[in-house]
Amino acid sequence: MGNYVVKRLLQTAIVFIGVTFIIFGAVFLIPGNPVAALGSGQPLPASTVHDLELKYHLNEPFLEQYGRYILGLLQGNFGTSVDTGQSVSSLMAQAWPVTVTLALTAWAIEIVVGVTTGVLAALRRGGLYDRMVMFLTILAVSVPIFVAAFTAQYVLGVQFHLVPVAGTSDGWPMSYLVPGLVLALFSLATVGRLTRASLLESLSKEYVHTAVAKGLPKRWVIGKHALRNSIIPVITYLGIDLGFLLGGAIVIEGVFNLPGVGLLIFNAIENKDGTVVVGVATVFVLVFLLGNLVVDVLYAVLDPRVRYK
Amino acid sequence: MIPAWSGRSELPEPTGDAAEAAAETTAVEPGASFLADAWSELVHNPLFIISGAIVVLILAIVIFPAPFAGLFGHGNPHACNLADSNEGPRAGHPFGFDVQGCDLYANVIYGARPTVTIGLLVTGTSLMIAIVLGSLAGFLGGAVDTILGRLADVFFGFPFILGAIIILTVIPERNVLTVSLVLIIFGWPVMTRLMRSTVLGERSKDYVLAARSLGASNMRILRKHILPNAVAPVIVYATLVTGGIMVAEATLTFLGVGLQAPAISWGLELASAQTEIQQYPHLLIFPGLFLSITVLAFVTLGDTLRDALDPRLR
């Protein structure tokens, strides 16, 4: 087990370096100069440009900048925004809670509604309810997230005034409920289908037949025997999905005007503020990779076959 | 969608009624081949007929947009009159007008082309890459497998939208080809992994051993024996994912990092409508509806194909 964890940790570290290198390289290549962008179209005096470039190490070669960045990162320093002069950490400290709240709201909806729907569909296999759920899940993965977001915003916010149209002024839960639901929609469908398929497989296993033959109540057979085994792939998916929810939050934040990291990264791209883009993206990737790592380790704990491969 | 590439047995074995259904079809056409069998199952599936018909219609619109756009007499998407800006539907203009006062119906019809082209181009190219690299990695193993695996890991390290946004902001001119390229960069690893795991499963089967003992070369074994047996899951996955690619294109365009005006596309129409939606919902409804129906048709088609071609995944 220890060996497996060490191996996966090393892999994750290598991937992290590869990914940050790509991000840093891409941002380095963004056309336009952050110092020039500061002048909002007016040319800045040459001496000011020179001072700023020196201050932010902008005139150094790419590899030197990348090395400096990684060294700073290891000390928890994400650098300073060229655009506002604020430290990237403080910008992120304001933005991350919004995004995390949104993602966790979506996650909770996904777990409760997704698993329940899937279990009920599996127990009524082939029936009207099952067919309806299967159709709705296909529908949910077909409607693009921003179309669903606008529709929900228009119907629930503008027409019926059930929830605030945009912004976070009403706090949790009112301001996050509809954005969270829309964000959860795609994964909700997947969790539902996965639970259904997985439970159906378990229900056809012999140990379940044995449990039924022993005369155990149906509730016990499903809850204690079948569901426990069929929930493993669902847990795996839920773990991986948390990272994707953070990515989807980028789109949702724009529509509902939630001041999270998605808006932060978009404004930064607009202002050619490379340090902010790299900083936010790096934390994103870190969360994403750690999420996958936790899932893999959890999976190895739950399923011994993975460990001894 | 169910991650079929994971290789875990999370899906039910064909149970009683599935096996009966299979027996039934074989009974109708004794000795029918696998494909004929799958086909006879498909033509009896109403979902396949409906989604297939919609896909054919969409492809017709993509290839010949002009006659479809001209149905109501105002087929030119560039004929705009600012006086009509955001006007609702009226005679001859069933969908009303967009912000610029252009006929929305004509724009929605012409908007199909980039989205569908990108969907098919990205899926097709990723599929080719996956079949070649995936079978090499799975068949050869060793260093090739390790390098490809770690490379794929790096692209898995990005949340998809974030990676695409960062790379697309660097590209100076964004058109159908460059947007496709970026989507391919993030699309090939999943398919390659699926292909690799299927080839890996086939590699140790008896028929491969038999071919090898008869003196067949590696290349011949891979091409003539393993590939025909290992290619079905990745093709099924590709049909399923085509709809997802279209959603990704529309989302990126909507976010302002995909296609650029003056191109006509659903994503652009939705993006320019963004600020007007509260007053003029028709700007959201029509492009959104067309986009959703197209994706729905492709996803459903993929779903029915999977059921027919890969009964284990049902």
State pLDDT tens for residues A247-258.
788 888 888 888
Residue B300 touches chain A, beta carbons under 8 Å: yes
Q: Which of residues 27-56 of A touch B (CB under 8 A)?
A: 27, 29-31
- Pairs across A and B, CB distance < 8 A: 146
Per-residue DSSP letter, A144: -
Confidence of residue A34 (pLDDT cuts 50, 70, 90): low
Confidence of residue B228 (pLDDT cuts 50, 70, 90): confident
* Contact between B162 and A204 using a beta-carbon 8 Å cutoff: no
Q: What pLDDT is attached to residue A308?
A: 57
What mean pLDDT is predicted for residues A274-278?
A: 81
Residue B166 touches chain A, beta carbons under 8 Å: yes
Backbone angles phi, psi at B102, to 5 degrees: -90, 150
Mean pLDDT over all residues of chain B? 80
pLDDT exceeds cutoff 60 at B6: no
- CA-nearest residue of chain B to A188? B1
Domains along chain A? 2-88 (no CATH), 94-302 (1.10.3720.10)
Q: What pLDDT is attached to residue A307?
A: 62
Among candidate residues A290, A243, A252, A54, the one with its CA nearest the CA of residue A148: A252
Cβ atoms B108, B266 nearer than 8 A:
yes
pTM: 0.80
% residues pLDDT > 70 (chain B): 88
Q: Which of residues 178-197 of B touch A (CB under 8 A)?
A: none
- Could you report the per-residue pLDDT of B279-290, keeping only the tens digit for each? 788 888 888 899
pLDDT exceeds cutoff 60 at B8: no
Element (H, E) at B244: helix B232-255
Cβ atoms A254, B254 nearer than 8 A:
no
- CA-nearest residue of chain B to A261? B162
What mean pLDDT is predicted for residues B252-257?
A: 86
- Could you report the per-residue pLDDT of A111-137, keeping only the tens digit for each? 999 999 999 999 888 889 988 998 888
- CA-nearest residue of chain A to B17? A126
* Contact between A141 and B172 using a beta-carbon 8 Å cutoff: no
* Contact between A147 and B172 using a beta-carbon 8 Å cutoff: no
Confidence of residue A41 (pLDDT cuts 50, 70, 90): low
- Could you report the per-residue pLDDT of B23-74, keeping only the tens digit for each? 444 444 455 677 777 788 888 888 889 999 999 999 999 998 888 877 777 7
* Contact between A141 and B244 using a beta-carbon 8 Å cutoff: yes
Question: B151 to chain A, minimum CA–CA distance in Å?
Answer: 8
Q: What pLDDT is attached to residue B58?
A: 93
Question: Whose structure tokens read 């600020």?
Answer: B275
- CA-nearest residue of chain A to B287? A147
Q: What pLDDT is attached to residue A30?
A: 66
Cβ atoms A265, A250 nearer than 8 A:
yes
- Could you report the per-residue pLDDT of B74-126, keeping only the tens digit for each? 777 877 778 777 777 777 788 888 877 788 888 889 989 999 999 999 999 99
Q: What pLDDT is attached to residue B30?
A: 53
**B234 exposure class (CB count in 10 Å sphere: 0-12, 13-18, 19+):** buried
Among candidate residues A85, A59, A13, the one with its CA nearest the CA of residue A276: A85
Does ipTM top 0.90?
no
Residue A200 touches chain B, beta carbons under 8 Å: yes
How many other C-beta atoms lie within 10 A of the C-beta of residue A40? 7
**Cis-peptide, bond into residue A164, ω within 30° of zero:** no
How many other C-beta atoms lie within 10 A of the C-beta of residue B92? 10
| Residues from chain B contacting residue A269 (CB–CB below 8 Å) | 165, 169
Q: What pLDDT is attached to residue B313?
A: 47
| Residue B30 Rama label (left phi>0; alpha psi -120 to 50; beta) | beta
Among candidate residues B171, B191, B195, B193, the one with its CA nearest the CA of residue B181: B171
Q: Which of residues 234-293 of B touch A (CB under 8 A)?
A: 243-244, 247, 250-251, 254-255, 270, 274, 277-278, 281, 284, 288, 291-292
Amino acid at residue number A140 = A
Question: Whose structure tokens read 């605030």?
Answer: A164
Residue B302 touches chain A, beta carbons under 8 Å: no
- Could you report the per-residue pLDDT of B136-171, keeping only the tens digit for each? 998 888 888 888 888 887 887 777 778 888 888 878
- Could you report the per-residue pLDDT of A171-219, keeping only the tens digit for each? 777 788 889 999 999 889 989 988 998 898 888 888 888 988 999 888 8
- Could you report the per-residue pLDDT of A65-108, keeping only the tens digit for each? 788 888 887 787 777 787 777 888 888 888 889 998 999 999 99
